[in-house]
Amino acid sequence: MNRQQLIEQIRIKQSFLCVGLDTELSKIPEHLLEEDDPIYRFNKAIIEATAPYCVAYKINLAFYEQYGIAGWQSMEKTLEAIPKNCFVIADAKRGDIGNTSKMYAKAFFETYNYDAITVSPYMGHDSVGPFLEYKDKFTIVLGLTSNAGSNDFQMLETTEGKVYESVLKKIATWGTPDNLMFVIGATKAEKFAEIRKILPDHFLLVPGVGEQGGSLEEVAKNGINKDCGLLVNSSRGIIYASSGLDFNEAAGEEAKKLQEEMKGYLKG
């Protein structure tokens, strides 16, 4: 899915919601544990319930890799269950020397056909560049994250401003809004106005709304641009809205609430 197709889906659904599939066996309803593939069964039901209200899904690879081959198989089947009109993100946080990144890019963009992948920029251009070579694919670079440890490095002062600001400015020159996005945590909502001065046109993937306490209102007020420019992710707040037989219905209701709120911000 390219940028214009994503923008069109945001317009059609009046939503910029991304549902995070951070699926853990210990948290899904007990009755699903009797299934041959409980992770896939859970994900499929969540996808069917939330697809009318979201434009993207983010699959956090760590939650699948922990189960070895069975986890990868669950991930593959989950990918097949996601509607073709939804943007699909591999939350893999890859990033290594050039030839290794080239293999990561091939795996996620060719073998699995994800639309986007999250990437760590710490090793510099040769670790990010191979992902940017793919047409109609997005590299989503970690910019300013929502975790407490972001203060360890990202917020350090340099002669050119904070480290994360230097990262955003530098990496923005490596690609375009057609193939680059950035992760900006919702718990850093007060920074969005400043970030938009650096990145006026890029899409921002925004985790941290919901369980982590980020404010959708603040993110929208300071982060929306002429094309919307936001994908706000909610994982636990949606997929674990209920642990009962109604888990999928509850997830759909939570997604619908966020979509309705987003609709107001898009009109505003």
**Average pLDDT rounded to a whole number, residues 130-139:** 97
Residue 186: predicted pLDDT: 85
pLDDT (tens digit, 9 = 90+) per residue, 6-54? 999 999 999 999 999 999 999 999 999 999 999 999 999 999 999 999 9
Asked if pLDDT for residue 165 goes beyond 70, the answer is yes
Residue 252: predicted pLDDT: 98
Range scoring the smallest mean pLDDT among 105-109, 159-163, 173-177: 159-163
Q: Looking at the 3D structure of the chain, how many domains does it have?
A: 1
SS3 state at 236: helix
Residue type at position 235:
S
Three-state SS string across 90-118, please? EEEEECCCHHHHHHHHHHHHHHCCCCEEE
pLDDT (tens digit, 9 = 90+) per residue, 64-115? 999 999 999 999 999 999 999 999 999 999 999 989 999 999 999 999 999 9
pLDDT confidence bin for 254, thresholds 50/70/90: very high
**CATH code for position 101:** 3.20.20.70
Residue 203: predicted pLDDT: 98
The token pair that represents 191 in the structure block: 């920074």
pLDDT (tens digit, 9 = 90+) per residue, 177-230? 999 999 999 887 789 999 999 999 999 999 988 666 678 999 999 999 999 999
Residue 212: predicted pLDDT: 66
Residue 100: count other Cβ atoms within 10 Å of its Cβ. 15
Asked whether the beta carbons of 220 and 230 are under 8 A apart, the reply is yes
Q: Which of 135, 115, 137, 119 is nearest to 127 (CA)?
A: 119
Residue 29: predicted pLDDT: 96
The token pair that represents 185 in the structure block: 């945590």
Task: Name the residue range of residue 115's domain.
Answer: 3-267
Residues labelled catalytic: 93
Location of structure tokens 């050039």: 98
Which residues lie across from 166 on neighbouring strands?
A: none
Residue 250: predicted pLDDT: 98
